[in-house]
């Protein structure tokens, strides 16, 4: 595996005319990342992984500082997976100025995480734009755990570049809680509690599929989750295509954001 700390050097030494898959990460690699990498390896001749904890997508400095980091472990995982290239850029290598650190989004798109994490997706879109400007990969692999993120990247960024998005299924712990770097901040007890939320969400999704009128029971689900001493940021049912509240049995999705001991988690079914 070749490790690059400069995008310029990466571009000079890597032939992006070849079939290359790109997996952008913020490190603290887990089975979800591993699944994305394996998808890239199966579809592409070469795979590039980036590790960059993007400061512009954090709306709280404390959250940025506490984000899990373990670069030695990450490199060991990537070598074992036989990844071809690893990019570990610095902030100045990504952003030339403060203006390039944010991309404005429309007010109508400020729902769910975009509403409650002010500036978050503006920062996500900015870093993806910078990557796609300089990294001419054929495909970029993203996980459906961050479903709203993929939706906004497609809407604001990806259509301007030749790179195509490959959306990969959410990888879960014991078929419940989605894999996340933030899970490393949780105790075993907290993991169990968070997993129960995912299972409740899954069951509620199934009851709506059986009978649409069951969607009215979302307040009951909210009370059940709160009874576990979990703080809910949002719990909503939306159209998975356009994120409006107008949905049918075939296009609805349930979205949740909640806190356990100060750690923010998201899920969708």
* Enzyme catalytic residues: 33
Q: Which tokens is 216 given?
A: 């009215």
Among 81, 98, 85, residue whose Cα is nearest residue 33 = 81
As a whole number of angstroms, the distance between CA 109 and CA 254 comes to 17
- Distance (Å, whole) CA 24 – CA 142: 8
Among 13, 11, 87, 82, smallest CA distance to 49 is for 87
- Cα(102)–Cα(131) distance, rounded to whole angstroms? 14
Burial (0-12, 13-18, 19+ Cβ within 10 Å), 221: buried
What Rg, from alpha-carbon coordinates, does the chain have? 19
Hey, what are 110's tokens?
Answer: 């400020």
């Amino acid at each position: 595996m070749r490790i690059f700390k400069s995008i310029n050097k990466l571009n000079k030494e890597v032939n992006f005319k070849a079939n290359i898959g790109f997996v952008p990460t913020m490190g603290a690699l887990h089975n979800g990342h591993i699944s994305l990498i394996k998808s890239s390896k199966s579809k592409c001749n070469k795979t590039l992984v980036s590790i960059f904890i993007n400061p512009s997508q954090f709306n709280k400095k404390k959250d940025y500082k506490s984000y899990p980091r373990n670069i030695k472990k990450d490199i060991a995982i990537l070598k074992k997976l036989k990844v071809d290239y690893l990019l570990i850029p610095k902030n100045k290598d990504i952003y030339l100025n403060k203006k390039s650190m944010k991309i404005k989004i429309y007010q109508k798109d400020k729902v769910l995480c975009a509403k409650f994490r002010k500036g978050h997706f503006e920062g996500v879109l900015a870093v993806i734009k910078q990557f796609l400007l300089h990294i001419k990969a054929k495909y970029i692999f993203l996980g459906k755990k961050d479903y709203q993120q993929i939706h906004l990247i497609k809407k604001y960024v990806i259509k301007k570049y030749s790179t195509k998005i490959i959306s990969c299924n959410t990888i879960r712990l014991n078929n419940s809680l989605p894999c996340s770097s933030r899970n490393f901040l949780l105790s075993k007890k907290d993991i169990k509690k968070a997993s129960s939320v995912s299972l409740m969400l899954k069951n509620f999704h199934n009851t709506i599929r059986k009978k649409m009128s069951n969607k009215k029971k979302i307040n009951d689900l909210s009370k059940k989750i709160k009874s576990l001493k979990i703080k809910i940021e949002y719990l909503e049912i939306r159209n998975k295509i356009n994120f409006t509240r107008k949905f049918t049995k075939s296009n609805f999705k349930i979205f949740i954001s909640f806190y356990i001991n100060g750690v923010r988690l998201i899920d969708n079914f």
